Chains A and B, each alone.
Chain A
Amino acid sequence: MTAADWSAIRLTAELAAVTTVLLLVLGTPVAWWLARTRSRSKPVWAALVAMPLVLPPSVLGFYLLLLMGPQGPVGQLTQALGIGRLPFTFAGLVVASVLYSMPFVVQPLQQAFEAVPERALEAAATLRAGPWDRFFTVALPLARPGFITASVLGFAHTVGEFGVVLMMGGNIPGQTRVMSVAIYDHVEAAEYADAHRLAAAMVAFALTVLVTLYWVKRPRGADAGAAR
């Protein structure tokens, strides 16, 4: 591994970790609402969450480039807030990854919350537990396998993310050149030995993650299905 390879690996891990944490924080209330709501607009919101599964990643990246650009609404907002512009920055990749990996985190959480028995929550309510209390002491522990699935899938999916990053990252070493882009560069430039090295690291990582996931989920046999 060269220094550049290590930098790409470190950056990828950072991006995936930050994205996963953000998605868990943002995705939990969304998933809870989707699981519990009786609103007639639920299918619309569920569809919006699943949207990133539909658009080709590089197309999604292109639209993000337009949205975050100086003329785009998001770009104008970030500039007005004094943040500057998001494309070609690590922060921009985080925003893109949060959007792109959203279904992989929200859907397992939603399924886990849907599996929480209504009666358990009612029992807690009769014992005078408030809504927050009910959520943190009853729903959350019961939905734990869903959180493990969501974290692993969100993390792994962000690691493998390519099209979006390629479109709005600008391939800057140490800032936006993640593993997938580094591998792609090596392949396109016919530097196959370098590509093989990084690709092997990625495959080893993915195997480790997925084996761990299935091993953790093994004793329960719970079927908190993945977003596939």
Chain B
Amino acid sequence: MKKMTWRLAMLLACVLPTVANAGEVSVAVAANFSGPMAKLAEGFRASSGHTLKLTSGATGRFYSQILAGAPFDVLLAADDDTPRRLVNEGHAVAGTQFTYAVGQLVLWSALPGVVDEQGAVLKTARYKHLAIANPKLAPYGRAAQETLAAQGAGEAVAGRIVTAESIAQAFQFVVSGNAEIGFVALSQVKVPGKPVQGSYWLVPPSLHGEIRQDAVLLKRAKGSAAAQALLAYLRSADAKALIQGYGYR
């Protein structure tokens, strides 16, 4: 017990200079980025002493909640449109918006050997259901729709599309095998340092609009040093490397 106390004291002595102005930042983070963000939070705390309170969910819902006065300091959105709207409508601080990650779309199957590396499977009869996120609600869903159009696969997939409400749900449809294939985010099927389970086609970025995920500082945190520090940290080389390891560009 005494040892523990000593250790704690030593630890505190090390971080005291930063603890003196340690703050807490509440972050609304897009569901697809919640895994990497939890890791980033550790790094951020180690380097700055500030702690993060993370809430993950759908960007559209965060937008409604922020309008209703939800207590978030920073929004890490799944798109670049929502932060822009928040800035234009005066709920976020102008000039603080930047792209923290660019999403990569994959056509994925939980089984090996189903999806080929050109995505030609789309035009075959080898599947019954193709899962995509709702294009009206999810940027990855829109990108999936654009990809289908670019591939001229619109007719081939007609009647076989199941629409998920989010990219997380599209992943659930495919991972449970109920949809044989589906468009998901590379970050959902890629664990840093491990090969991807199943089979996938990494959709060339030229086939769809860029899936830019932007961060923005919200009005209530305008003077918060901790929130500013977080935004700066997300741009650091360390953070960028970690984000790329999770399947973002």
Give the B-binding residues of A (Cβ under 8 A): 62, 65-66, 68-72, 75, 85, 87-88, 166-168, 170-172, 184-185, 188-190
A-B contact pairs, 9 of them (CB 8 A): A65-B173, A70-B177, A71-B176, A72-B176, A170-B131, A171-B164, A185-B136, A188-B134, A189-B137
Give residues 114-137 of B contacting A (CB, 8 Å): 129, 131, 134, 136-137
Given A88-B129, A185-B134, check contact A69 B178 (CB 8 Å).
Answer: yes
Distance to closest chain A CB from B134 (angstroms): 7
Contacts of B163 in A (CB 8 A): 170-172
A62, B173: Cα distance in complex, Å: 9
Contact between A167 and B169, CB atoms less than 8 A apart: yes
Give residues 35-86 of B contacting A (CB, 8 Å): 58, 60-61
Given A65-B178, A68-B178, A87-B178, check contact A188 B172 (CB 8 Å).
Answer: no
Distance to closest chain B CB from A159 (angstroms): 19
Known A87-B173, A88-B129; further 8 A-B contacts with Cβ < 8 A: A71-B177, A87-B178, A168-B178, A171-B162, A172-B163, A184-B165, A189-B60, A190-B60
Contacts of A70 in B (CB 8 A): 177-178
Contacts of B172 in A (CB 8 A): 62, 65, 167
Central interface residue in B60, B172, B178, by most chain A CB within 10 Å: B178
A70, B180: Cα distance in complex, Å: 10
Contacts of A87 in B (CB 8 A): 173, 178
- Which residue on B lies nearest to A173, using beta carbons? B163
Contact between B173 and A189, CB atoms less than 8 A apart: no
A171, B61: Cα distance in complex, Å: 19
9 A-B pairs with the lowest CB-CB distances in the bound complex, closest first = A170-B162, A70-B177, A69-B176, A171-B163, A87-B178, A189-B136, A69-B177, A69-B178, A88-B162
Given A88-B129, A88-B162, A188-B61, check contact A171 B176 (CB 8 Å).
Answer: no
Using an 8 Å CB-CB cutoff, how does the interface string of B173-187 with A read, 1 for contact, 0 for none?
100111100000000
Distance to closest chain B CB from A143 (angstroms): 40
A5, B177: Cα distance in complex, Å: 30
Contacts of B177 in A (CB 8 A): 69-71, 75
A185, B135: Cα distance in complex, Å: 11
Contact between B178 and A171, CB atoms less than 8 A apart: no
Contact between A170 and B137, CB atoms less than 8 A apart: no
Specify which of A66, A75, A170 is in contact with B164 (CB 8 Å cutoff).
A170
Give residues 131-190 of B contacting A (CB, 8 Å): 131, 134, 136-137, 162-165, 169, 172-173, 176-179
Distance to closest chain B CB from A147 (angstroms): 36
Contacts of A88 in B (CB 8 A): 129, 162, 178-179
A215, B178: Cα distance in complex, Å: 45
